[in-house]
């Protein structure tokens, strides 16, 4: 498995991540355009004394969508309820959450594109009219009972914006696209996190961790914790550039930020399939992982780094992938290059 640099948070890591989360918009590093837009939206709502429009945050995992939802509630001085799309299997589940909201509350639904269709249809009327129709009974004798919902703000987060239905997307008054962080921004984030958790880190140490963090704050904080362990056990506790380099070598994170699973995918493409093209399911079997793990954990970064390409015929190793593995790319190898942002969330086979 590739838990070390996966941008998906494991349950046991959430407490550690919560300790370094920014609490207000002015503490949130990077995403400057989204921050400015949210600030205008929230300040306007506060001045009018009404809940702001519903908010959709999209982008890869680990960039701060959950943190921004918490910040929205804090800036509004409102209560926050948190749930996820997969947890809402029936419309009754959603109705119970909605009818328990107090006026002005913020409801955060992670992976909102995975809400079951009956629940999604119930959410439409709640978002527009602050009303839900609860069906009592079955068959010809079924009765729909309308229930009022207190005015609230829905903050939806998705890593797969293309999977949202049109009616759902249209009901969000604000859509924010979160982008990967620049290394300089991650250095600021690492320095801030290090101060909070009491880890001495030099500028070189922060730089070394940042450049291997795949543009993702969650990964940067995770690598900082692992480098801290190394520094405390095998050095004097200070995270320097040399210590960070040695620690990340122990944890199999290479100079580009690739871990064991990423390199396994590239080795399979190059060694077993001659660079491709090869189907995603076949590639997943070759590396002994689930299809979803390869597609959602490995591929976005490998594509963005210009090491893997998605084509109509399957996945292809680029010339950069061959060179990264120390091989000479054959003539005619796909040249590669980073794709545009929407390609990172493509659902190609």
3-state SS track over 113-153: HHCCHHHHHHHHHHHHHCEEEEEECCHHHCEEEEEECCCCE
Instruction: Place 292 in a pLDDT band, splitting at 50, 70 and 90.
Output: confident
Tokens linked to 226: 């692992």
Tokens 């990967």 belong to residue: 180
**With left for phi above 0 and alpha for psi between -120 and 50, is residue 276 left, alpha or beta?**
left
CATH of domain 260-345: 1.10.10.10
**What 3-state class would DSSP assign to 167?**
helix
Residue 91 has a pLDDT of 81
336-345 mean pLDDT: 40
Please give the model's pTM, rounded to 2 decimal places.
0.82
Q: Which residues are catalytic?
A: 65-66, 110, 159, 218
* Cα 151 from Cα 200, distance rounded (Å): 46
Enumerate the β-bridge partners of residue 201.
Answer: 239
Distance CA 305, CA 338 (A): 6
Q: Which CATH number fits domain 183-250: 1.10.8.60, 3.10.620.30, 3.20.20.70, 1.10.10.10?
A: 1.10.8.60
pLDDT score, position 298? 84
Look at residue 6 and tell me whether its pLDDT is greater than 70: no
Q: What is the pLDDT of residue 9?
A: 52
Q: Please state which CATH number belongs to domain 31-177.
A: 3.40.50.300
- Between CA 219 and CA 189 the distance in angstroms is 11
Question: Residues 108-122: pLDDT tens digits?
Answer: 999 999 998 888 888
Lowest mean pLDDT of 137-151, 294-308, 318-332, name the range: 137-151
pLDDT digits (tens, 9 = 90+) for 22-69: 999 989 988 999 999 999 999 999 999 899 999 999 998 889 999 999
Tokens of 236: 């004097």
Domains of the chain, residue spans: 31-177, 183-250, 260-345
Predicted confidence at residue 250, as pLDDT, reads 92
Which of 16-30, 100-114, 254-268, 304-318 is most confident?
100-114
On the question of pLDDT at 3 being above 70, the answer is no
CA distance 238 to 342: 40
pLDDT of residue 337: 47
For the cut 60, the answer to whether the pLDDT of residue 2 exceeds it is: no
């Amino acid at each position: 498995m590739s838990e070390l640099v996966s941008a998906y948070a494991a349950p046991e890591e959430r407490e550690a991540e919560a300790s370094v989360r920014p609490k207000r918009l002015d503490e949130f590093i990077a995403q400057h355009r989204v921050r400015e837009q949210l600030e205008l939206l929230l300040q306007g709502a506060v001045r009018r004394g009404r809940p702001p429009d519903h908010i959709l945050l999209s982008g890869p995992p680990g960039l701060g969508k959950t943190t921004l939802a918490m910040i929205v509630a804090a800036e509004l001085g409102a209560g926050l309820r948190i749930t996820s799309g997969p947890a809402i299997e029936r419309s009754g589940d959603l109705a119970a959450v909605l009818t328990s909201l107090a006026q002005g509350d913020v409801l955060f639904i992670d992976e909102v594109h995975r809400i079951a269709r009956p629940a999604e249809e119930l959410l439409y009327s709640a978002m527009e009219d602050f009303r839900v129709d609860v069906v009592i009974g079955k068959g010809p004798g079924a009765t729909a009972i309308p229930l009022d919902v207190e005015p609230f703000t829905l903050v939806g987060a998705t890593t797969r914006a293309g999977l949202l239905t049109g009616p759902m997307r249209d009901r969000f008054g604000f859509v924010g696209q979160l982008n990967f962080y620049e290394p300089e921004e991650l250095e600021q984030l690492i320095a801030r996190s290090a101060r909070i958790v009491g880890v001495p880190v030099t500028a070189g140490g922060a730089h070394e961790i940042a450049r291997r963090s795949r543009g993702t704050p969650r990964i940067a904080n995770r690598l900082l914790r692992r480098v801290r362990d190394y520094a405390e056990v095998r050095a004097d506790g200070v995270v320097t550039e040399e210590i960070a380099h040695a620690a990340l070598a122990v944890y199999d994170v290479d100079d580009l930020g690739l871990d064991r699973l990423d390199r396994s995918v590239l080795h399979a493409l190059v060694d077993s399939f001659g660079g491709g093209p090869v189907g995603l399911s076949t590639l997943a079997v070759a590396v002994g992982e689930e299809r979803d793990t390869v597609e959602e954990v490995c591929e976005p970064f490998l594509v963005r780094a210009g090491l893997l390409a998605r084509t109509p015929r399957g996945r292809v190793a680029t010339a950069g992938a061959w060179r990264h593995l120390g091989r000479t790319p054959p003539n005619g190898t796909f040249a590669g290059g980073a794709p545009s942002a929407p390609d990172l969330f493509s659902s190609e086979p």
